[in-house]
Amino acid sequence: MIDLWGGCAIVCALSALGTWAARGYALRRQLVDQPGERRSHQVATPRGGGMAIVGALLVAVAWALWQWPVQRLPMAGAAAGFALVAGIGWWDDHRPLSARWRLLVHLLAAAGWSLLVWHLGGQVWMGVLAGLFAVGLVNVWNFMDGINGLAVTQAMLAAVAYAWVLPVPLSWLGWALAAACLGFLPFNFPRARIFLGDGGSGGLGFALAVLFGLGLVAGLGPWSLWLPLGTFLVDAGFTLAARMLSGQRWWEPHAQHVYQRLARRFGHAPVTLGYAVFSGIAIALFFRLQALQPRWEAVGSIVWLVVASTIWLLLRKGLRDH
């Protein structure tokens, strides 16, 4: 039998080999992102490497379906939604689709996952929250995938956090996601030789929403369950709100996130590492809060939200003034 670390090593290797193959494929098909005003990179770079993460994770899920038959329903349901979101993103990487069609598929995948979480957890609010996070995280990871290594390191850290607290065998999905991200990372950081693409970024967002939903089903403290995702949620959420309040066409591509402004001043690697440190602190708090009573868990989560929001506002103001 393959142990946890052996399984992670296989998933990591599959992801790395798949990313290498995806880069060659993207170059042959001219699937390349060009530099531009709304982009943070300076040289033409192939895209679509995130499908290697998708493929490796689906292999991991297939193995889990065989290994733990009792968990076939949540794992098969998660894999179906994950493949749907990644598939429409892969299509969009090849032949750009309208936002309407992409959103329709995202909503379909989220609705399926929402109903499954409702069924597994027995609570309507769990299903609703899981569905909202599915739609939200798919788009958040797409919005925040703009500099080298950022989206994949944030996904890897969050996956480890959830894997650490989820019961076996559900925790395998978190470890497998982290291992798949690790296999992709050397191709994307510190120098990007390939980007995730919409299929990869959307797939990561949905996979993390699955781990969030499984956390609800497993009875983890719901007040702090968002913390491993909080760094991205705060930057994406407040930037979106600011654009909407200022009357901008908020659905269009832009370079107004705090991470993008920081990257223009300090470079990609320092910002990616800085965001990783900040997420590491949030994850440490997440572990601590999971052991507290619900009211103190809620208080701790609200305090962290206030702190993170204040830091975002100060950074945004400082970067605008200089």
- Would you list which residues are annotated within the binding site for Mg(2+)? 142, 198
How many angstroms separate the CA atoms of 301 and 281, rounded? 13
Residue 91 has which token pair? 């299509």
Q: How far apart are CA 75 and CA 170, in angstroms?
A: 8
Tell me the C-alpha distance between 162 and 211, whole Å.
7
Q: Residues annotated as binding site? A: 142, 198
DSSP string, 288-317: HHTTS-HHHHHHHHHHHHHHHHHHHHHHHH
3-state secondary structure of 153: helix
**How far is 34 from 17, CA to CA, in rounded Å?**
25
The separation between CA 275 and the C-alpha centre of its own chain, rounded to angstroms, equals 14
Three-state SS at 46 = strand
Structure tokens at 72: 């076939």
Structure tokens at 185: 């990372």
Q: Where are the alpha helices (DSSP H) in 146-196?
A: 150-165, 171-184
Backbone angles phi, psi at 196, to 5 degrees: -60, -45
